[in-house]
Amino acid sequence: MQFGDVDTIGDEPVADFIGNDDNKISSTMLSESPKIGHFDSRDHELNRFFHAYSRSDDPKDGERLINEIKDRLYHQSNFQQIVTIVTKNNDIHQLMNKNTYYEPQHDVCQKEVNLAYNTYCGGYSDYALKFVRVVVNICETVNDTNFILTAVKNVCTSKK
């Protein structure tokens, strides 16, 4: 059976509509996929609290949202200050950039800095875990673990 104007449409393979012949996803198919509704897993709590508050107008939901935002600002500020101190105001943007990855070689430094962050800054929240990469970047570019540990201690104890 044929319906419509078959003279102008021409032959079109079924694969154009339900998939392609070679079972491979084409690059155009990937680039056209929408990103609506997708977000970084570190933003889950923020999205959850925001939507809970927007649906309920309950002050407790509002407080949770505000506390989540404050937590984010606290950790982001901590790491910006730590990086500023240990780099002496150089390479801040590079070390904080989410696309900067150094090959982890100094695992002892990383462990000590993470322990210091837990001790002096109250530890990592779900959101703050994204800054573990910054710890790797710092340990790979600054060759003085004690200097980094002092910076962590000074930044976090000055805020309490």
CATH number assigned to the domain comprising residue 129:
1.10.132.130
pLDDT of 88 over the 60 cut: yes
Q: Give the chain's domain count.
A: 1
Confidence check: pLDDT of 33 > 70: no
**Residue at 78 is within a domain:** yes
Cβ atoms 108, 147 nearer than 8 A: no
Percent of the chain surpassing pLDDT 70: 75
Checking if the pLDDT of 81 tops 90, the result is yes
What pLDDT does 121 receive? Answer: 94
pTM of the complete model? 0.71
Domain that holds residue 117: 42-157
d(CA 134, CA 113): 11
- pLDDT value of residue 141: 87
